[in-house]
Amino acid sequence: RMRRCCVWLRKNLLLALTIIFAFGGVGCGFCLRSMKPSIVTVEVINLPGELFMRMLQMTMLPLITSSI
């Protein structure tokens, strides 16, 4: 049974890590929200997310407009 689990995990490592980190991110979000961080802390945490969202927009917008 353990061997079968390890084989599945090797085949689906990206899926497993995505699910784990998605739940971890939600958990961190709930914890940080309850702590009432300062504005500077919020800006520091917000920066990577904002950069990621802009990167996705720069990637997806040309794909969408070229497919229309």
Q: What is the pLDDT of residue 38?
A: 87
Can you tell me the distance from the alpha carbon of 35 to that of 19, in angstroms, rounded to the nearest whole number? 25
Average of per-residue pLDDT across 9-26: 93
Distinct helix (H) and strand (E) counts, the chain: 3, 0
Contact 9, 16 (CB under 8 A): yes
Residues 18-67 have pLDDT tens digits of 999 999 999 988 888 888 888 898 899 889 989 999 999 999 888 888 88
Contacts of 16 (CB under 8 A, 6+ apart): 9
pTM attached to this predicted model: 0.57
Domain assignments of the chain as residue spans, ordered by start: 1-36, 37-68
